[in-house]
Amino acid sequence: MDMDETKVLIVGGSSGMGLALARRCLAEGSGVIIAGRNAARLNAARDELGCPAALATAVADISREAEVAALFARIGRLEHIVSTAADIEGAYRLLPDIELSAAQKVVDSKFYGPLLLAKHGAPKLSANGSLTFVSGIAAYRPAARGSVVAAVNAGLEGLVRALAIELAPIRVNAVSPGWVDTPIWQ
Ligand SMILES: NC(=O)c1ccc[n+]([C@@H]2O[C@H](COP(=O)([O-])OP(=O)(O)OC[C@H]3O[C@@H](n4cnc5c(N)ncnc54)[C@H](OP(=O)(O)O)[C@@H]3O)[C@@H](O)[C@H]2O)c1
């Protein structure tokens, strides 16, 4: 597709809630870019969505600033930016078993990623555009083994409140799901 006609960027669009959102946006007639770190997953998602002309894919790791900057350099104006990205592998552990490297990946994907998307993406949005990130129930109903995810979700919501002030009139929101059956639990 012509990247200049893209309207909605969905980071995490190769799986779970992001993929479901991509399906919905395409059905509503929007141009969509789905982004993620793994090209094969993105291609599989494109196949699953029926390879429509209004869909493009982009490989990018949102925890790496150079990749976020390069992603937006390839994209024209946007109406909406969404990130459902999360890397929680190895993060649901009791305290004695938590590896800092696994905790860091949660922070990278769910905190620094949104921060970088806002920094580099906001200039691409019009005044009625929006940024939407995903926190989660763990911020309010933490369970044993969930301390890292709980803390990052809560931190993301603090970031979102501050960004909403700084970037107004662009809307910045966090959506906080309960438990949803997606590939994240595989
Ligand atoms: N499912 C639940 O029960 C639940 C509950 C509460 C909150 N949430 C939150 O809801 C959001 C969506 O979850 P989901 O269940 O749809 O997850 P999912 O199916 O695992 O999808 C996560 C997506 O994020 C991408 N991703 C991960 N790290 C990335 C990075 N650094 N840069 C770019 N893309 C990255 C993944 O693709 P690659 O791996 O190829 O990069 C994948 O497309 C997450 O923030 C999650 O924490 C989920």
Domain ranges, ordered by start, for the chain: 3-179
CA quadruple 42, 59, 13, 124: dihedral, nearest 10: -150
Determine the atom of ligand 1 nearest the C-alpha atom of 38.
40
Measured by CA distance, the residue closest to atom 21 of ligand 1 is 15
Looking at residue 78, its amino acid is L
| Distance separating alpha carbons of residues 39 and 60, to the nearest angstrom | 9
Q: So what's the pLDDT on residue 76?
A: 87
What is the chain's pLDDT, residue by residue, as a tens digit (186 residues)? 444 455 999 999 999 999 999 999 999 999 999 999 999 999 999 999 999 999 999 999 999 999 999 999 999 899 999 999 999 999 999 999 999 999 999 999 999 999 999 999 999 999 999 999 999 999 999 999 999 999 999 999 999 999 999 999 999 999 999 999 999 988
Which among 87, 105, 179 is the best mutation to test ligand 1's pocket, defined by most ligand atoms within 8 Å of the CB? 87
- CATH no. of 3-179: 3.40.50.720
Q: Determine the atom of ligand 1 nearest the C-alpha atom of 34.
A: 43
Ligand 1 lined by 141 (C-beta under 6 Å): no
On whether the CB atoms of residues 63 and 89 are closer than 8 A, the answer is no
Task: Pick from 14, 15, 63 the residue to mutate for probing ligand 1's pocket: most ligand atoms within 8 Å of its CB.
Answer: 15
Q: Using CA positions, which residue lies closest to atom 46 of ligand 1?
A: 86
Nearest to 170 by CA among 61, 79, 65, 52: 79
DSSP letters, 82-120, are EE-----TTTS--GGG--HHHHHHHHIIIIIHHHHHHHH
The residue nearest atom 20 of ligand 1, judged by CA position, is: 184
> What is the model's pLDDT at position 43?
98
Q: Is 87 touching ligand 1 by the criterion CB < 6 Å?
A: yes
**Predicted pLDDT at 154:** 98
| Burial (CB count within 10 angstroms: exposed 0-12, middle 13-18, buried 19+), residue 52 | middle
